[in-house]
Amino acid sequence: MILEGFKFGMLLQIAIGPVCIYIFSLGVKEPFFMAFLGVLGVVLADAIYIILAILGISSFIKNERIQKRFNILGALIVTIFGVELFLGYFGISILPKLNIFQNAHSNLPFIKAFLLTGANPMTILFWIGVFGTKTTDSSFTKNSTFLFALGSLLSTLLFLSLIAFTGSITSSFLPEKYLSLLSSAVGASLIYFGIKKGKQYL
């Protein structure tokens, strides 16, 4: 059952949305440990959404008005993160430093990745669809649910850690100028993704 959950989790990760792109950019700009903090933020957000899906929040999310607001908010957050990355090339930051912890810098990738994952409507809808189908299966016990969820989270951890590592390797042989340019390109892709999604729901 862990393997089955792992395969379903990989389906979501292979969809290479804004979260995957952001983790790659973290690997390029920051030490691997910082990028790994971002990966843990994604895993936590996925875990929360999986729990909500198991608890049967699907009827709430499927409300047309709530779903529209949720999608618009998600598109807005993705766009803001994209603008932040894009303007970083020019040394401009629009997001305030979060002093939630003593060492804000080291925790910021975790917080940003957590928020970016939480803002992606595809994440919650994917897990609601998967677990909504699985929990109606009479052979799907509580133990099966736990193992399936664990496998799903392990796939997120493994895949995004690999993406972060790939970004770190890339940063070792690319000049700093090109790394900054790559970060801006990532930001531009997030802006495009956010605006495209936002227009669908307005």
pLDDT tens digits, 150-187: 888 898 899 899 989 988 888 777 666 666 777 677 77
pLDDT the model gives residue 38: 93
pLDDT at site 135: 59
State residue 5's pLDDT score: 67
Residue 122 pLDDT greater than 70, yes or no: no
Token readout for 89 is 């090339």
CB 22, CB 81: distance < 8 Å: yes
pTM exceeds 0.85? no
Binned at pLDDT 50, 70 and 90, residue 99 comes out as very low
Q: What is the pLDDT of residue 97?
A: 47
Residue 192 has pLDDT above 60, yes or no: yes
Contact status, residue 164 vs residue 35, Cβ threshold 8 Å: yes
Decide which of 109 and 101 is more confident: 109
Task: Give the total number of structural domains in the chain.
Answer: 1
In single-letter form, the type of residue at position 194 comes to G
Non-local (6+) Cβ contacts of 80 within 8 A are: 94, 95, 194
Measured N-to-C along each axis, helices 142-173 and 18-29 cross at an angle, to the nearest 10 degrees, of 40
pLDDT for the residue 105: 47
- Residue 200 and residue 100 in contact, taking contact as beta carbons nearer than 8 Å: no
Show the domain range for 118: 2-201
User: What average pLDDT does the segment 89-98 reach?
Assistant: 62
| Token pair of 32 as six digits | 């691997």
